[in-house]
Structures are given as C-alpha cells and as structure tokens.
Amino acid sequence: MAVIALVGVPGSPGVTSTALGLLRMWPVEHGRRVLLAECCPDGGAVLAGALQSRLTADRGLHNLAASRRSASLQDAFWTQLVRISDEERRDDPARMLLPGLTSPAEAAGLAPEWWAIADLFVGIDRIEQHGHDVLLDLGRNGAFGPARVLAQRADLVLLVMRSTLRSLHMAAARARMLAALLDGEGRRSGRLGVLLITEGPYAAREVEEHLQVPVVASLPFRPQEAAVLSDGAAEGKRFRESKLMRAVLDASTPIRQRVATQRARLASPLHQRMVGGLDAR
C-alpha cells in the first residue's frame, strides 16, 4: 500500500494528466485496487477533461463535508467513487477516481476535514477485502494551506515539472517549500522527488543538482497523447501502447520502489531510535 502525492509547478501544467496516466497504467496485483483522489483546492479537472462531462458531478470530494454530518467519513467516502475503465478494461473494478471540487469556493467547507481525510487515505489499506494504493492529485496549491496534511502524510511527494528553464526556475522555490513542509521527525529523507516531463534542454542530472531533489522518473513530452488524459481527445485502439503510456508504466516501477525503500527505512530500528530521541528532547 502506498500514498503518493503529486504536486505541480506554477506555469507548468501536467499534474492531473500524469496522475490519471498513472491511475490507468498502475500495476494492480490480484485483489488490490488503485485510487486517484483529486484534492486540488482549485477544483477537479478529470470529469470535464478526460471524461468529457460524460458523468455528472454528483459524486466527489465536494460531498464529503456535507456527508460527514449524517454518516462516518469512511462510509461517505466509498459512495463518492467513480470506477475508471477503458476500451481494454471495461469491467476493471480495480481503478477508481474520487472527483475533485467543482468550484474553489467549496474548499473552505473542507478545511476542517483535511486531517480526517488524510487519516482515511493512510488507513485505507487496513480494509480486509482489498489493499489500496492511493494517488493524490494536489495540483499547484494542494500541498500548502489547510490541505498540506495530505502531503505531510504521504509516503512520497512527487514534484511534477518540465525540463524547461521556466519550470526549473519555478520549481526551485516550490522544492524548498516542500522540503520545509516534509522536514519533521526525520521523515523527509527519501519522501520528496521529481517526476520530470522532458520538454526542455535540462537533463535529469542537471535538475537534481539545481533542486537538490532526486528525479525519481521521467516522462516524454507528448502533447497529442497527453490530450487524451487532459481533454478527452480520441485515444485510438493502441493508446495504451503509445510512447507516453509505456513511459508511465515504466515510471510506476521506480515510484513503487522509492516508496518501499522509504517504508523500510522508517521501520528500521535505527530510525525508530532516532525518532524516539527527538521525541525525548
């Protein structure tokens, strides 16, 4: 089980498309599920984008605050999910979407609930019937403000950026903010990484040196293929075999390995003694 948060860079779109690509290509073992939750306070994009408004906005994150008044958050949560399938996986029950807010104005109503929602995502694997991997689309602003607990509780936070000068410049400040956010009780090490979209001239090594953050995986800049994920463009029969989607599948391996390494580190006796020492002070 993993909770992986994706965070954007101002002026460099691509977080939601990347998250949706991961949802569609994520390796799912028998009996497991993967969930994408749109948690950007600026609003969700999948229903109107990739799904072209084929589904109504009657389910989603915006209902959780109101639903919790009459039911437990967990009970309300499961009623708000949408099953995601494609031409090759019409009956796939393993991939689910929690649609995001329909308006930024709805974010204020969720402010008191973010801690409980974070607890839900972290504890979702305790359900006996299924194990879950959770992808959190935090957009450009969801890792800060009231929703920052989602990034703080994640196993891995990926800064999605392009290899252009503008994106590199904007990512520097964002990386420092995320590092400060995650720097607590020895948990920061290994939890912050870059998912690089190779549009510009900067190689992964140069990005790592400039940001002092490891590049966990890279994706090619393929705007026509990405339009399927961002705007619901016709995908064709071989979309899953496209260069972009093959790269998304490949990217899932180092992402999962990073999470496994981080979890093993946190579970080590040495780390437990270090955290205990910090708590004692």
Which residues are paired to 44 by β-bridges? Answer: none
Q: Give the residue carrying structure tokens 């969930």.
A: 35
Task: Supply the pLDDT for residue 57.
Answer: 65
What are the tens digits of pLDDT across the range 16-50? 999 999 999 999 877 788 999 999 888 888 877 77
**Rg of the chain over all Cα atoms, to the nearest angstrom:** 18
* CATH number of the domain to which 218 belongs: 3.40.50.300
Domain that holds residue 217: 2-280
Please name which of 3, 103, 87 lies closest in space to residue 47, comparing C-alpha atoms.
Answer: 103
User: pTM of the full predicted structure?
Assistant: 0.89
Task: Supply the pLDDT for residue 92.
Answer: 61
Task: Supply the pLDDT for residue 259.
Answer: 92
Task: Supply the pLDDT for residue 247.
Answer: 97
142-153 burial, b at 16+ Cβ within 10 Å, e below that, comes to: bbbebbbbbbbb
Count of H-run helices and E-run strands, the chain: 11, 8
> Please, what are the averages of pLDDT over each run of 10 residues along the chain (281 residues)?
92 88 89 89 80 69 69 81 66 80 83 88 70 92 91 95 95 94 66 95 97 96 92 87 96 94 72 48 44
DSSP 158-191: EEEEESSHHHHHHHHHHHHHHHHHH-STT--TTT
Q: How many domains are contained in the chain?
A: 1
